[in-house]
Structure 1
Amino acid sequence: MTGDAQQPPGRRLSSWTTRRWLRVGVGASLVVLTLLGVTGAWVMGRSQSISNNLTDVRSPSLSTAFRLETALVNQETGIRGYGLTGIPGFLAPYRQGVADQKAHTRSLEELLDGDTARLHDLASVQEAVDRWQETVAEPVAAAPAGTPSSQEAERLANGKAAFDRIRVALENQQERLRADRIQARADLESTITQRNWVFGTIALLIAVLAALVFEGLRRGINRPLELLGSDARIIAAGDFDHPITPTGPADLRQLSGEIESMRRRLLRELAFTEEARLRLDAQAADLQRSNAELEQFAYVASHDLQEPLRKVSSFTQLLQRRYGGQLDERADQYIDFAVDGANRMQILISDLLNFSRVGRVHNAQQSIDLDTVLEETLSALSVAVEETGATITHDPLPSLVADPSQMVMLWQNLLGNAIKFRRPDEIPRIHITAAPEAGLWRFTVTDNGIGIPPEYAEKIFVIFQRLHTKDTYSGSGIGLAMCKKIVEFHGGTISVDPEYRNGTRMTFTLAPEPPQIPGPSATPDAARTEAEQAR
């Protein structure tokens, strides 16, 4: 099965992936936001431009026009007073009014720069002022002080009409400037209203856009992921037959398809594993039954062979004692062979019987002091220790829960091997250590003997495996196999340290409280027979 999600019948699914949807959505959002930003910026710029025009041009222009009118009225008042009285003091307002007129005219020209219509109004005012000043004001001002003449009075009378034209020009100018300011205010208010609408629309569109994005993410990503997670949790809870439903964009559907493919493969693997487990359970049961039968056979065989072998050994020894030296040399040699073979067979059968007993009958686990067990073992090996002059030292040994007789067999085999496999020219030196390690006790038995080649480090624990001939070193080949069985029965492991070169170092572990592994029960007859032999 491929990783592609199955398409529901009657429905054509989009081929767009999550990345493509996100790209398109982000792109469209950016375009909309850009347009909204440009529109908002334009409205803000227009509002600012109208506001600046109102505050910097229209209102100052109208105020300056009023001040220009005041300056001209001051000129007309001063000229009229001087013309009627001839007092020079009346010329001061006129002169100040001329200066103010020029300053206000320049201000208006700067404020109205570029406004042709309003500059034309200012030119009309200036033209009327120039005509009045030229025909009335300047000639009157140039007349000598003193009693006014009839000529100045006539000019003043004629100048009223000229100044009225100035007033008309000023009124027209001020009316248009006032109208411009009113229009600017109206435009500003309209722009502010437009700006409020634009920003309100922007806020609404952003809210709508955010809602669309949220809903799109919920439907396109969150919801499919929630469904996928829900299906995965159902499968993780143990319902492996629950199918994965592909939803969402193409890549999420592909992911769902891949998980579905994994689920189906897992289902096949589980079915195969279950079938294999059933076969293994059956094989384990057969193997356990076979091992139990083999152990029972080894016990029964070794036990039942002891009686006829005892007869053979007894009669061959009797034959050796009674007829030794009475027959020829070859007959004596044959009798020696028979006695030696019977003795070795007895030792082999006894060791095999002890091997079969480990974990079966003698399983009286109790709290024991290994120092005491070691003393019993050394007492049993006292003859070999005395003959070889062996030196055996040890660290303080712990107390633990174990079978006392099996512990004695364990130490007796390990120490017996260390004494037996010694160098011809050296006195055996043996040291025992004990230290806690990862919840277990690790023991070492180190000697200065002949050592064990690394290639035989595993073979020596196989039953009947020997590295030397029986003529070189005696033994049945069961000792280390029995040690391995005892150690494993007490929850540990045993091995040879391959890095030690000056002899042999056996390393093994024991659990403080070994697991209870029930072995096959001995038959009543066999147990009774063992008890009799033990006596």
Structure 2
Amino acid sequence: MVLSAMVLLVLAGVVVGAQALSRTATVSNHLSDRISPARTAVVEFRAALADQETGVRGYLLSSQRQFLEPYTRGIGEARAAVSRMRALLSDEPGALAALTAAEQEAGRWRAVADRLIAGHPAGAGPASMAVVLRGQDAFTTVRSRVIALDERLAEIRRDGRADLDRSRRVRDGVFLFLAAVLLAFIVVIAVLLRLAVLRPLSRLSAAVRRVAGGDFEHRLTPHGPADLARLGHDVEAMRRRLVDGLAASQQARDQLEQQRRELERSNADLEQFAYVASHDLQEPLRKVASFCQLLQRRYAGALDERAQQYISFAVEGATRMQSLINDLLGFSRIGRVHNATQPVDLDLVVAQVEDGLALAIAESGARIVRPALPTVHGDATLLTMLWQNLIGNAIKFRRPQGEPVIHITAAQADGVWTFAVQDNGIGVDPEFAGKIFVIFQRLHPRDSYPGTGIGLAVCKKIVEYHGGHIALDPAYREGARLTFTLAAAVPAAVPAEDAPAPAG
């Protein structure tokens, strides 16, 4: 209500002030654009009449025609001045009447002057003083009319100035009144804000701080204006939701704690299983394989070909079971046994992998092309397993003809390194892009390519343990291209896409 009243008052003051300003501007423009130029024209009119009188008197005293030139010129100037004054004083009837009287009197004087000039031919000698004085007496009446016109314009100017002063006083009074009323309204609004808003808001703020301090059971009771009361109710509703959320969160934490304990027990069981699998389960397999081999050697001559084949199958199955158990144990140990995170120089890691695969590289004629690799955060043993599996797979799954070429690239962005291992081998169909990372999933028969089918599953687990992501690039069809990411340990000083240098 106070703001509405203030707006109405300001609008009313603006209207009154605008009228006062308009009136001030009108009076000021009238004085400057009409009255002042009209008074200037009166001066010109008087000067033109004086030139006429001077020309007539000079002619009468000298009888020479050149003295009539001011008279002729003055007539034109007087008419121009009268025309200009009529245009300027069109809204001043009193001044126009005075101007008409002066113009008529000037016309009568010119009639007298023309008779005097006509009655005294050129070269007749000086006229008598009676003739000259008759012209001067006739001009005195014209001069008085012009003076009356000028006094009338001066009076109009004085009235205009007085009107202008009144308009200015009204304008200043309106503005001062508006300033005083606005100041009073500001004081009233400040008091109302203090009583109706700030005080209830302070109480609400204190209650909110109490809740924020941990007293979530403290209820908020808002007071004050409707908007502030609605805000208080909204805060109270938020407090209740927070209390409900905290209760649900505590229940969830209890459930998580219970699940953590169960997971710890499950991990302990898994550790026990790993121990049993690595000792108790492998021992019978070793015995089966050993005794089958002894049986094959001792009774080689007594057994027929089918029996020899059966024994070979048994030895092969036991050996394969041992490999599967060892690979499964290695897979389960990722992140549990090897978990020492530290800066790892991948350049050194890949060089060690190349040394370990030197025989396979030499036999296949493989060529590894790579840049200088960066340092990353991770476990050195796990990262060695990662690169060994990736490079080993690129060599294993080569084409029957031609030498395998393996390209390794690395690029950094936002503190993360993206690596790619690309070969020219038999490749992987994009429809199997997800299957190749599943444990013990093979795309080829065992007699075509050896192994248990766990290598890429190990790579996936190692990369995800380091917070990265590994995937097959389906757009690359000249072989296989695997990309993965690792966190950088230090900023790269040299761009990773520098010209690669062959290694291996």
Is this contact kept in 2: 1:306–1:346, CA < 8 A?
A: no
The aligned counterpart of 2:283 is: 311
**Separation in structure 1 between the aligned mates of residue 113 and residue 387 of structure 2, nearest angstrom:** 139
Q: How does 1:25-174 map to 2 (within 5 A)?
A: 36-48=24-36, 50-52=38-40, 54-57=42-45, 59-60=46-47, 63=50, 71=57, 93=61, 103=71, 117-118=101-102
**In 1, Cα distance between equivalents of 2:403 and 2:257:** 46
Q: Is the 8 A contact 2:102 2:142 kept in 1?
A: yes
Residue 398 of structure 1 corresponds to which residue in structure 2?
A: 373
Q: Aligned match of 1:351 in 313, 318, 327? A: 327
CA contact (8 A) 2:48 2:78 kept: no
Kindly name which structure, 1 or 2, has the bigger radius of gyration based on alpha carbons: 1
Residue number in structure 2 paired with 1:513: 489
Aligned length: 429
Letter aligned with residue 35 of structure 2: S
- Aligned partner of 1:485: which letter? K
Deviations along 1:29-49, one digit per CA (max 9) or x if unpaired, are 877765554443334344235
The equivalent of 1:476 in structure 2 is: 452
Distance 1:130 1:513 in 2: 118
SS at 2:474 equivalent? coil
Gaps of 5+ in 1: 1-10, 76-91, 142-155, 248-252, 515-535
Residue 306 of structure 1 aligns to which amino acid in structure 2? Answer: S
1:103 Cα deviation (Å)? 5.0
Among candidates 425, 433, 437, match of residue 412 of structure 2: 437
Distance (Å, rounded) in 2 between the aligned partners of 1:441 and 1:167: 115
Q: What TM-score, normalized by structure 1, do the two folds share?
A: 0.57
Give the match's secondary structure for 1:488.
Answer: helix
- Counterpart secondary structure, 2:368: strand
- Determine which of 418, 442, 445 is the counterpart of 2:394: 418
Matching residue's letter, 1:422: R
Query: Which one-letter code corresponds to 1:435 in the other structure?
Result: A
- Gap regions ≥5 residues in structure 2: 84-96, 122-127, 213-219, 491-504
Letter in 2 for 1:464: F
AA at the equivalent of 2:368: T
Q: Distance in 1 between matches of 2:344 and 2:139?
A: 130
Q: What is the CA-CA distance between 1:454 and the residue it aligns to? A: 0.9
- 8 Å Cα contact 1:450-1:503 kept in structure 2: yes
Distance 1:296 1:49 in 2: 112
Moved more, 22-31 or 328-337: 22-31
Q: Over residues 1-21 of structure 1, what are the superposed CA-to-partner deviations in whole Å (9 max), with x where a residue is unaligned?
A: xxxxxxxxxx6997xxx9xx9
Give the corresponding residue for 1:300: 272
Alpha-carbon deviation of 1:296?
4.9
Q: Tell which has more relative contact order, 1 or 2 (C-alpha 8 A, sep 6+).
A: 1
Between the aligned residues of both structures, percent identity stands at: 31
Q: Which shifted more, 28-37 or 413-422?
A: 28-37
* 2:366/2:405 contact within 8 Å kept: yes
Secondary structure at 1:354's aligned position in 2?
Answer: helix
1:110-144 CA deviation, whole Å, 9 max, x = no partner? 5889856456766887999999x9xxxx8x99xxx
The alpha carbon displacement at 1:407 in A equals 2.8
Q: 1:106 Cα deviation (Å)? A: 6.5
Question: How far off its partner does 1:453 sit?
Answer: 1.0
- Partners of 1:474 and 1:112 in 2: CA distance: 124
RMSD, aligned α-carbons: 6.2
Residues 34-86 of structure 1 show CA distances to partners (whole Å, capped at 9, x for unaligned) of 555444333434423541353134x4488579769x94xx99xxxxxxxxxxx
2:471 to 472, 485, 495: 495
> Quick one: distance in 2 between partners of 1:317 and 1:108?
142
- For 1:301, the aligned partner's letter is F
TM-score (norm 2): 0.59
1:320 maps to what in 2? 292
Residues 295, 356 of structure 1: 8 Å contact kept = no
Q: Does 1:460 align with 2:436?
A: yes
Q: What's the offset of the Cα at 1:444?
A: 3.3
Correspondence for 2:337: 361
Pairwise CA distance, 1:271? 9.6
